[in-house]
Amino acid sequence: MDDRQFRQAMGNFATGVTVITTEIEGEQHGMTANAFMSVSLEPKLVVISIGEKAQMLGKIKESKKFAINVLSDVQQEYSMLFAGQIKEPRTVNFDSLAGLPVLTGAIAQVACEVVSEHVEGDHTLFIGKVLDFKVEEGDPLLFFKGKYRSLLPEMSFINK
Ligand code: FAD
Ligand code: NAD
């Protein structure tokens, strides 16, 4: 089975885009991720999937906490920055939720503590118990066929 074709197949599943954030000794780290799912309502649980080569893996293992920031359609630059697609360093000012760094303007912010982790193939799944969450107005940034999209047709110029 071919990796590129598998990614192409998975890329046909349209998703939102999140930035996962955590903090170690006062230093914040963010990573773009679309492998995110709501798992349970009682108790409130979510899951994220982090690749074995990501810096974020060791950081969450150490902090045992993470936040999910669901990006709005005006936050594509954050997605690119935290995926390493913008090379020059940028200063990001984070807000705080339940002691975790979060991105201002994200349409949902969810602060979690890790309750379990499962190594599966080349990724680790972290189950997070929700400590607090916040919702803001806005439309989502979307990811489909390896490209950013928006619900608004007038923003389709972004990928052209
Ligand atoms: P690095 O590559 O070191 O950091 C990522 C970037 O964020 C760097 O450019 C860094 O400068 C910047 N950065 C980090 N913290 C800060 C800060 N405090 N201030 C300013 N800049 C900062 N990978 C997965 O494992 N799981 C997924 O679900 C996933 N989904 C993705 C979805 C999309 C749409 C995209 C584009 C990528 C996805 N990736 C996913 C890939 C992942 O985002 C990249 O491999 C990423 O570079 C890995 O980050 P890292 O933790 O290794 O950190
Ligand atoms: P792409 O065409 O590589 O991604 C399409 C879809 O394939 C993704 O939405 C995801 O479902 C799946 N996918 C891609 N890489 C994967 C991986 N290493 N492990 C598991 N699933 C994966 O999109 P792109 O624009 O080329 O992505 C940019 C970069 O971000 C690539 O390096 C890609 O590998 C990475 N990425 C990683 C994940 C992940 O680890 N879960 C998810 C999305 C993108």
Judged by DSSP in three states, 139 sits in coil
Mean of the pLDDT values across residues 29-37?
Answer: 98
In degrees, rounded to 5, the angle at the alpha carbon of residue 10 between the alpha carbons of residues 108 and 48 is 40
Predicted local confidence at residue 160, as pLDDT: 47
159 has a pLDDT exceeding 90: no
Domains identified in the chain and CATH numbers = 3-159 (2.30.110.10)
Assess whether the C-beta atom of 15 lies below 6 angstroms from ligand 1.
no
Quote the ligand 2 centre to 112 CA distance (angstroms). 24
Side chain identity at residue 34, one-letter code: N
Closest ligand relative to 4 C-alpha: 2
Burial 118-157 (b: 16+ CB within 10 A, else e): eeeeebbebbbbbbebbeeebebbbbeeeebbbeeeebee
CA 23 to ligand 2 center in whole angstroms: 24
**Percent of the chain beyond pLDDT 90?**
92
Q: What are phi and psi of 158, to 5 degrees?
A: -50, -40
pLDDT value for 152: 79
Ligand 2 atom at shortest distance from the alpha carbon of 143: 9
Q: Of ligand 2's atoms, which has the minimum distance to the CA of residue 122?
A: 19
Would you say the CB of residue 130 lies under 6 angstroms from ligand 1?
Answer: no
16 within ligand 2 shell (Cβ under 6 A): no
Average pLDDT over residues 88-105: 96
Tell me, what's the pLDDT at 102?
A: 98
Band (pLDDT 50/70/90 cuts) for residue 61 is very high
Given a cut of 60, whether residue 118 has pLDDT beyond it is yes
What CA–CA distance (Å, rounded) separates 159 from 81? 17
Contacts of 149 (CB under 8 A, 6+ apart): 14, 141, 142, 143, 156, 158, 159
Range 18-37 average pLDDT: 97
- Asked if residue 7 has its Cβ within 6 Å of ligand 2, the reply is yes
